[in-house]
Every structure is written in C-alpha cells, then in structure tokens.
Amino acid sequence: MADDEEVVEEQEVVPVVESDVVIVAHEEQPLAPPKYEVRPRLGQKFQAQNVRDIILSTMQEQLMGRQYRVDQVPRWCKMIANGVRQRVQDLNMQRYKIIVTTTIIETRGAGIKCAQRCIWDPETDDYADNLYRNSSIFCYTICYGVYMY
C-alpha cells in the first residue's frame, strides 16, 4: 500500500574542504512523522445529535406557517439545504465533507418510498436526518458527514 512505503527525503549536502580536495558529506536526518490523520480525534467525530437539532430548527424557520406552492419548493429546498450546510460547517468538524439533501412534497395522503446507498467507513462517517410536516408540506432533510482522509 502507498501508506506503508517508506518516504525518502532529500539529504542536505555539506561540502567539506580538506586542503585542495572537496569532500561531500551527507547528514542523515530522521523522517518526520506523517502529517495526515486517518481517523478523527476524540471529540472531533460527526456530531449527529447537534446536526439533527440544526436540521429541525432550519426547516421550522423556513417552512413554519407556509402552504405548499409548487413554484416555491425549489427555492425552499435550496434555502434549507444551504442553511443546514452552513450551520453544520460552523460546528467546525474538521476534515468532514458535508452533504445535505432536502426533499419537499405536498401532503395529500399518498405515501413515498425512497432509498439511499453509499460506501463509507462506519467508524468515521455518519449522517443525521429529520423531518418536518404541517397540513400541506412534508419535508425531509438528511445531512451526511464523510471524513476526508
């Protein structure tokens, strides 16, 4: 694997002068530890409960007291998704890629089925979701936190 390969750094060349002959000496320096992290530190994992609260409060702020309007739904979805993403990024979960999707449908008594699939590391990656509904709107928002190695 690429992580197991040994990294060879350039060595500093120091010329040593002895009478008329120049001898080149190499100073050996130990390798520095890697500067990348493959796991989040304790306390830096995806904060699912905080994100759920952010999702619910953002949906309530945008949709409270509104009735379903097909011409306004794309704008509402963008506002909710961008608002959630920005507020989650403010939690400063370093090295997490934040992905937010929002779905708004009209409440008319019909059902809906949907599925999502992805491949990720269950030790570092996580998601949070929440829903909001009123007499005419059903809104479902999900936020993924994918750790960037």
- pLDDT score at 132: 97
- B/e letters for 25-62, b = 16+ CB within 10 Å, e = fewer, are eeeeeeeeeeeeeeebeeebbbbeeebbebbbebbeeb
pLDDT in tens, 88-115: 999 999 899 999 999 999 998 888 888 8
Distance of CA 85 to the CA centre of its chain: 9
- pLDDT score at 20: 63
What percent of the chain is predicted at pLDDT more than 90? 59
Q: Are 14 and 25 in contact (CB under 8 A)?
A: yes
Query: Which pLDDT band, with edges at 50, 70 and 90, does 5 fall under?
Result: low
Does 35 have pLDDT greater than 80? Answer: no
Angstrom distance (rounded) from CA 145 to CA 143: 7
pLDDT in tens, 123-148: 999 999 999 999 999 999 999 999 99
Helix (H) or strand (E) holding 49: helix 48-63
69 Cβ partners below 8 Å, 6+ apart? none
Architecture of domain 48-147: 2-Layer Sandwich (3.30)
Query: Which pLDDT band, with edges at 50, 70 and 90, does 31 fall under?
Result: confident
The token pair at 49 is 């409960």
pTM score: 0.74
Hey, where are the domains in the chain?
A: 48-147
Q: Are 130 and 52 in contact (CB under 8 A)?
A: yes
pLDDT in tens, 36-60: 777 888 888 999 999 999 999 999 9
User: Side chain identity at 22, as an amino acid letter?
Assistant: V
Contacts of range 114-118, beta carbons closer than 8 Å, 24 or more positions apart: 116/142, 118/144
